[in-house]
Amino acid sequence: MKKLSLAIVLLSLIFILLVSYRYSSMTEEVIIESFENRVENNQIEEAVEITETENTKPDVIEKEQKSKKIICIDPGHQQKGDYTTEPIGPNSDKEKPKVSNGAIGISTNKPEYELTLEVSLKLKDRLEEKGFVVVLTRKSHDVNISNSERAKIANMNDSDIFIRIHADQREPSEFNGISVLCPSEENKYTSKIYDDSDKLANLLLESLIAETDATNQGISYRDDISGFNWSEVPVALVELGFMSNPLEDEKMNTDVYQNKLVDGMLKGILEYFNH
């Protein structure tokens, strides 16, 4: 009888040991699981943070869109200029500020960086309607992207053309009208893209003047512009008008005139790809 009780006690002990072991390993699993959850959640938070900062960065083109024509638009300037310098072209000893503050509307007080983004966004919509893929170098004002970096964004995205949008200022305030800047024929950095850039600049100016009736300030051929010299794709810079001219400044602040400017650029771009 004693032996039987001893056996029962032993068996109960073994049972208790087994149950408590199982329980402890279960808690361990639960702990591991909740740790894994936390790790996963952290990763999700990190991913969200990256997306948020990516918002200020330019578009990256999806592969399937690559069969379409790609146009990179650079809305000139940014909220705060960066006057540290960068080489004006690859391997150049000459340096220029990375990106300047830009003009201010003499009558509207509007900064150039606001006007250029407004017009760029309108042009982007119109181009997308026509089936182009559009890359913007910036979508907000609070960025710091140098002029050479803007050109590199156009290069990186295999853009077919790179259109830079600016507005002018000059004394006296009577100056008004539209000009287009283009790399010069002698520019050693841009010899490969000169012909196409020249064609693009001329077509843009022609159709802009036809659409707006603005004064034709002509083409300005340049070799000192970092945003041209770093570009590997045909490039032109449109000066929409003079922010130093009260009338033109007011006009450029209206939807009606902005739409004319956008129509002009759109027609010039369509012409460029049709020839």
Distance of alpha carbon 83 from alpha carbon 41, whole angstroms: 41
Task: State which residue has the least CB distance to Zn ion.
Answer: 166
CB atoms within 10 A of CB 149: 19
The reply on whether position 227 binds Zn ion by CB under 5 A is no
Q: Which residue number, 157 or 244, has a Cβ lying nearer to Zn ion?
A: 244
Which of 96, 124, 164, 166 forms a contact with Zn ion (CB under 5 A)?
166
Rounded to an integer, what distance in angstroms lies between the CA atom of residue 163 and that of residue 69? 13
Give the integer Cα–Cα distance in Å for 149 and 86.
Answer: 10
Q: Provide the mask over 35-64, with x wherever binding to Zn ion is found by CB under 5 A and - wherever it is not.
A: ------------------------------
- When asked if residue 102 is in the footprint of Zn ion (CB under 5 A), the reply is yes
Residues 6 or more apart whose Cβ sits within 8 Å of residue 240: 115, 116, 119, 165, 166, 167, 168, 178, 252, 261
CB of 141 to Zn ion, least distance (A): 14
Q: Which of 76, 183, 227, 264 binds Zn ion (CB under 5 A)?
A: 76
Between residues 61 and 164, which has the closer beta carbon with respect to Zn ion?
164
Cα torsion for 135, 138, 140, 142, to the nearest 10°? 160
Binding residues for Zn ion, rule CB under 5 A, total 3
Shortest spacing between CB 76 and Zn ion, in angstroms: 4
3 state SS of 142? coil
Enumerate binding residues for Zn ion (CB under 5 A): 76, 102, 166
